Amino acid sequence: MGDERLLAAMLGQLIWLALALAGAAWLGGPLSERLGLVPSRLPWRWVVVALVGFLCLSAAADAGLRTLALREGGRLGEIDELVRDTRAALAASLVALGLLPALCEELLFRGFALRALEGRFATWVAVTGSSVLFGLAHADLVHGGAAFVLGLYLGVVAVWAGSVVPAILCHAANNLYGIAALAGLAPPGEPLDAVGAWGLLVASGVCLTLLRAVRKRPLPVGNELQREAESADS
């Protein structure tokens, strides 16, 4: 039963990937640019800062959900149960629930969707809109709400970096650590409210730093990419 659910999870992620590729192809232009698979403007030390901030924000969100007794129900509870049920197939869990979601979801929501929206709207609208879509895609009120908040952070990282790669790394690190903790291979997150609050404060500070950097270095996407391509052709 667990293996079947892992296969279903993998299939769902491949559908997200297909949508990202189809959307990028429909818009035209190089797929790598439409999906954000370009070199990051962020030096690696700042990628590490972004990753740490994301882990802090995720831990804070998790602590809040546990305090409100919302973690065990719905989709999040199902994922926890699936990881525990498939410990013998840990490698499959790491791929189906860790790496594939990080790659496929980021390419769709922080790659294609964010860049497509930013070609028509202001950056903050694009980040918010792609995060709303990310939350709705989880089809669960609690999981979707947490995904929306985390999506805002990942959107800021993607915009500042000018690339989806750092967002993929943040997403993957968070997923893999969560799976390892559930499987008993890593220490579980500290459930104390104070720790969660401090994590949220740290992550919020990182987000503010990223937002300030975004204003200074806007990302050339959408129509700007098209104009650059036309200029190069001429």
pLDDT digits (tens, 9 = 90+) for 45-101: 788 888 888 988 888 888 878 777 787 777 888 888 877 776 657 888 889 899 999
Closest listed residue to residue 75, CA positions, set 1, 140, 10: 140
**pLDDT above 60: residue 167:** yes
Please compute the mean of the pLDDT values over residues 210-223 and round it to a whole number: 52
**pLDDT above 90: residue 126:** yes
Closest listed residue to residue 35, CA positions, set 138, 130, 109: 109
Residue spans of the domains in the chain: they are: 62-226
**pLDDT above 90: residue 133:** yes
Contact of 171 with 111, CB cutoff 8 Å: no
| 23 vs 62, higher pLDDT | 23
Q: How far apart are CA 175 and CA 98, in angstroms?
A: 5
**pLDDT above 90: residue 230:** no
